[in-house]
Chains A and B, each alone.
Chain A
Amino acid sequence: MRPLLIEGWSLGRRLALAVLLLSGLLALAFLLGISLGSSPIAFPEVLDILTGRGAVDPTTAAIVREIRLPRVLLAAVTGATLALGGLVFQALLRNPLAEPYILGISGGSAIGAIVGMLAGLAPFPGVTATAFAGSILVLLLLLMLSGRGMLAGRDALLLGGVMLNAFCGAVIMFLISLSSREEVQHIIFWLMGDLSMFTPAQLPLLAGVLPSFVLILALARPMNLMLLGRDNAAALGVNVRLVTALLLFATTLMVSLVVCQAGLIGFVGLVIPHVLRLLFGSDHRLLAPASILGGASYLILCDLLARSLPAQGEMPVGIVTALVGAPLFIFLLWRARR
């Protein structure tokens, strides 16, 4: 496996190229996401509304500002977070198939969130805190199992994660079966990864992922060294425990934040880092910013598909990402076996 593009370029040049390309893609996805929909709005009009210039139709402006823009922003932040989260887990577990959803981390935070909702807690800080607690619990369980050598080897770890995920799924169904009918509909749609119920008021919550982004970007070089294994990383001057703890904390926190808003959306963290690695190589100083931009663009486009494919209404975006991601996962597993 070697990068398709620009072999032998210095990191600076590759980073500049990647950021340029992916920013362009993100800008395009952003405009498409706002302009397409049940009533399409032309690009120039979208730009006028966003910049507040020119004479705009108030209804159209309201659709853009109140419905489409928040939704596209939610998709962008969620996609960025999940892609970056996948990248971090892959580096820490030295497993290119690791991903918050596959490992059950997202499932853990979903359990936490449902418990919070059923207990009638406020979305913030109540439900966010219970979601975080849920994902930390799954993470600790996973680390304990792999630390004790029970999940040694890459496939065992994945299998453990998949089983934790299945277990989380069962707990979620159990909780749903206990709840009343109105709650059920809401929870099920949210679970499947639905971006349609998002309101502008929830936007500030998403800003909570930014400190995690900054921390992960800052730790990109140590992440490279961690891929060489614990001893190699330590011998090259990395404080392995501290870096691992910081990365796991930051990643789990941001993943539970987006799970609370957007539900369970799988495989973004698998697809995006994989494609970017093929294009640009394995250096995390490039992959981390590229995953943010690429993940954001990807989920905006997936969400666009999710709301335009069905003849009537729309489907949860989690269905689209699973349709793309699950086959890729199987392909990667098959190729790694050969």
Chain B
Amino acid sequence: MTAVTVRGLNLFYGQRQILRQVELTVAVGEFLVIIGPNGTGKTSLLKAMAGLLPAAGEVLILGQPLASYGRRKLARELAVVPQLTPSDFPFTVAETVLMGRSPHLSLLELEGAEDHRLARQAMEFTEVAHLANRHLDELSGGERQRVTIARAICQGPRVILLDEPTASLDPAHQVRIMDLLEQLRRQQGMTVIMVSHDLNLAAMYGGRLALMHEGRISAVGCPAEVLTVDRLEACYGCRMEVVRTQPGGLLRVHPLAAGQTG
């Protein structure tokens, strides 16, 4: 069974076509990173997979059509970590993480001991348990991102979608977030699908990469297949250099300034 299957997906914003006949299959337990230039529809694809944008075409989540899920049922199988979570109102970290249990509760049900235990566990996993009574607006970007991921884990999903979870974080925090996600995949068999602008992190952690260009997926495969100079230059429209740190080692991708040689 595949975690997510996308077939012939098209999406329009008014007259503008954002997604063009997108095809993508993600296996259960896979770590897929969607990369590509700004405005190529990466976030839209992620949102369409989560049913947050109405796209024409077929999306299957764990083998079932997206449309056959109710919102609550879908939220028990698939969690979303968006780019931004507003914090205009002073919820505490514990309250925020506990919100991940709502798809498992009926309308008037209060969270029980088991829900509190799962929230605690999720906070410990993402190392925010010591912040439990702090308010979201008092946290740093990295802490806040780990809270949102804890909330997503608390949903108990089999698939987790993340939109640039490492954006605006320093390198240490970027690696920390990526390690967390890899751990989730390895230990709990979770399927991780994320959008990222960081080609090097994508190469380090992604089992497969999907490169998007102008609303289409122009290449899918392991990092070495996707991250080639020709492909990246055609896609991003700037000169690129791809090197290996050592034979069989990590891929490194750098853009080149005008006149610079690789």
Contacts and interface: CB of A to CB of B under 8 A. Distances in A.
B52 A237 contact: no
Contacts of A11: 110-111
Contacts of A154: 88
B80 interface: yes
Contacts of B82: 229, 231-232, 235
Contact of A221 (B85, B92, B105): B105
B133 A285 contact: no
Interface stretch (A40-48, A110-118, A275-283, A311-319): A275-283
B155 interface: yes
A236 B155 contact: yes
Given A94-B88, A282-B89, A236 B95 contact: no
Interface stretch (B9-17, B71-79, B198-206, B237-245): B71-79
Contact of A237 (B72, B95, B111): B72
B88 A232 contact: no
A227 interface: yes
Interface stretch (B23-31, B96-104, B224-232, B249-257): B96-104
Interface string B107-138: 11011000000000000000000001101010
A239 interface: yes
B99 A231 contact: no
A96 B133 contact: no
Contact of A282 (B52, B75, B90, B102): B90
A95 B88 contact: yes
Nearest to B111: A11
Contact of B108 (A218, A236, A239, A283): A218
Most chain A CB within 10 A, of B72, B90, B155, is at B90
Nearest to A10: B116
Interface stretch (A1-9, A74-82, A130-138, A264-272): A1-9
Contact of A96 (B71, B88, B96, B103): B88
B103 A236 contact: yes
A170 interface: no
A305 interface: no
B86 A218 contact: no
B91 interface: yes
Given A231-B82, A237-B103, A8 B91 contact: no
A277 B71 contact: no
Contacts of A228: 85-86, 96, 99
Contacts of A281: 90-92, 95
Most chain A CB within 10 A, of B72, B73, B102, B133, is at B102
Interface in A93-118: 94-96
Interface residues of A, number: 32
A198 B158 CA distance: 59
A283 B90 contact: no
B84 interface: yes
A12 interface: yes
A237 B102 contact: yes
B71 A7 contact: no
A146 interface: no
A238 to B, nearest CB: 7
A224 interface: yes
B99 A229 contact: no
A11 B101 CA distance: 15
A109 B86 CA distance: 32
A235 B52 contact: yes
A234 interface: yes
Contacts of B133: 7-8
B20 interface: no
A8 B95 CA distance: 10
Most chain B CB within 10 A, of A1, A3, A236, is at A236
Contacts of A127: none
Contact of A236 (B47, B99, B110, B135): B99
A227 B86 contact: yes
A33 B121 CA distance: 50
A31 interface: no
B3 interface: no
Nearest to B157: A235
A237 B51 CA distance: 11
Contact of B89 (A7, A218, A234, A277): A277
B99 A225 contact: yes
Nearest to B101: A236
Contacts of B90: 1-3, 277, 281-282
Given A1-B135, A95-B88, A282-B91, A231 B80 contact: yes
B50 interface: yes
Contacts of A282: 89-91, 95
B50 A283 contact: no
Closest 9 pairs between A and B when the two form their complex, measured CB to CB: A237-B75, A237-B103, A235-B80, A237-B72, A282-B89, A237-B71, A8-B133, A227-B89, A282-B91
29 contacts: A1-B90, A1-B135, A2-B90, A11-B111, A12-B110, A94-B86, A96-B89, A218-B108, A219-B107, A224-B91, A225-B99, A225-B102, A227-B86, A227-B91, A228-B85, A229-B85, A231-B47, A234-B50, A234-B51, A234-B52, A235-B52, A235-B79, A235-B80, A235-B82, A237-B76, A238-B71, A281-B95, A282-B91, A283-B95
Interface of A: 1-3, 7-8, 11-12, 94-96, 154, 218-219, 221, 224-225, 227-229, 231-232, 234-239, 277, 281-283, 285
